[in-house]
Amino acid sequence: MKNNTNYPTVYAARTDVGCVRQHNEDSFIAQSPLFIVADGMGGHQAGEVASEIAINTLCKYAPKNLDSDLFIAAVKEANAAIFRSVADGIGKPGMGTTLTAAIVEGSKVMIAQVGDSRAYLLHNGKLQKITRDHSLVADLVDSGQITEEEARTHSKRSVITKALGAEHDITPDIYVLQLEPTDRLLLCSDGLHSMIRDNDIEQVLVSIQDVNGACDTLIRRATRAGGLDNVTAIIIDPLKQGKGVTNARIKRTSFFSKHKFKFLWIAVVLILIAGLCIGANAYINSSYYVKSEGNSVYIYQGLPGSIIGISFSKKIEDPNIDASKLNEATIQNLEKGITVDSLDSAHNLISTYQDQIDSKNKNNANKQNGDTNEQNSQNMAPTTSSATQSNSAPSSSSN
Q: What is the DSSP string of 131-179?
A: S---BHHHHHHHTTSS-HHHHHH-TTTT-BS--BTT-SS---EEEEEE-
Do 247 and 317 lie in one domain? The reply is: no
Q: Are residues 45 and 100 in the same domain?
A: yes
Share of the chain above pLDDT 90, in %: 57
Query: How confident is residue 356, by pLDDT bands cut at 50, 70 and 90?
Result: confident
Q: Using CA atoms, how far apart are residues 322 and 308, in angstroms rounded to an integer?
A: 31
Band the pLDDT of 396: cuts 50, 70, 90: very low
Tell me, yes or no, whether 315 and 238 share the same domain.
Answer: no
Last residue of a domain, one of 197, 229, 254: 254
Between 18-22, 226-230, 384-388, the lowest mean confidence (pLDDT) is in 384-388
Sign of CA dihedral 362, 365, 370, 371: positive
Count of structural domains within the chain: 2
384 CB burial (10 A radius; 0-12, 13-18, 19+): exposed
Report which DSSP code applies to 322. Answer: B
Tell me which of 254, 270, 302 is where a domain ends.
254
Contacts of 50 (CB under 8 A, 6+ apart): 38, 40, 41, 42, 82, 85, 91, 95, 96, 97, 164, 165
Of the two residues 29 and 274, the one the predictor is more confident about is: 29
310 inside domain: yes
The mean pLDDT value for 12-17 works out to 95
* pLDDT, greater one: 390 or 118: 118
Asked whether residue 378 carries a pLDDT value surpassing 60, the answer given is yes
Same domain flag for 214 and 341: no
What is the Cα–Cα distance from 266 to 262, expressed in whole angstroms?
6
pLDDT digits (tens, 9 = 90+) for 255-266: 444 455 565 778
Q: What is the mean pLDDT of residues 129-140?
A: 96
Residue 13 has pLDDT above 70, yes or no: yes
Count Cβ atoms below 10 Å from residue 43 Cβ, excluding itself.
13
Residue 4 lies in a domain: no
> Could you tell me if 182 and 75 lie in one domain?
yes
Per-residue pLDDT at 331: 86
Using CB atoms within 10 Å of the CB of residue 144, give its burial: 0 to 12 exposed, 13 to 18 middle, 19+ buried: exposed
Better pLDDT: 186 or 153: 186
Residue 363 domain flag: yes
pLDDT digits (tens, 9 = 90+) for 62-80: 998 999 999 999 999 999 9
Is 268 domain-assigned? no
Q: Decide which of 254, 279, 301 is a domain's last residue.
A: 254
Whether the CB-CB separation of 235 and 220 falls below 8 Å is answered with no
Higher-pLDDT residue of 155 and 1 is: 155
Q: Within this chain, do residues 215 and 356 fall inside the same structural domain, yes or no?
A: no
- Domain identity same for 226 and 351: no
Q: What percent of the chain is modeled with pLDDT above 70?
A: 86
- The mean pLDDT of 162-171, rounded to a whole number, is 96
**Shared-domain flag, residues 124 and 198:** yes
329 located within any domain: yes
281 falls within a domain:
no
In a domain, 74, yes or no: yes
The domain in which residue 324 lies consists of: 288-373
Considering the domain architecture, whether residues 301 and 233 belong to the same structural domain is answered as no
Domain shared by 20 and 95, yes or no:
yes
In a domain? residue 260: no
Both 216 and 85 in a single domain? Answer: yes
CATH code assigned at 248: 3.60.40.10
Is 0.75 surpassed by the pTM of this model? no
- Of the pLDDT bands very low, low, confident and very high (cuts 50, 70, 90), residue 101 is very high
Which of 164-168, 368-372, 375-379 is predicted most confidently?
164-168
- The per-residue pLDDT for range 272-315, each reduced to its tens digit, is 888 777 877 777 788 899 998 888 999 999 888 777 778 788 88
Give me the mean pLDDT over the 362-388 stretch. Answer: 64
CATH code assigned at 369:
3.30.70
Q: pLDDT (tens digit, 9 = 90+) per residue, 191-244? A: 999 999 999 999 999 999 999 999 999 999 999 999 999 999 999 999 988 765
In a shared domain, residues 349 and 207: no
83: enclosing H helix or E strand: helix 68-87
Helices vs. strands in the chain: H and E counts, helices first: 10, 15
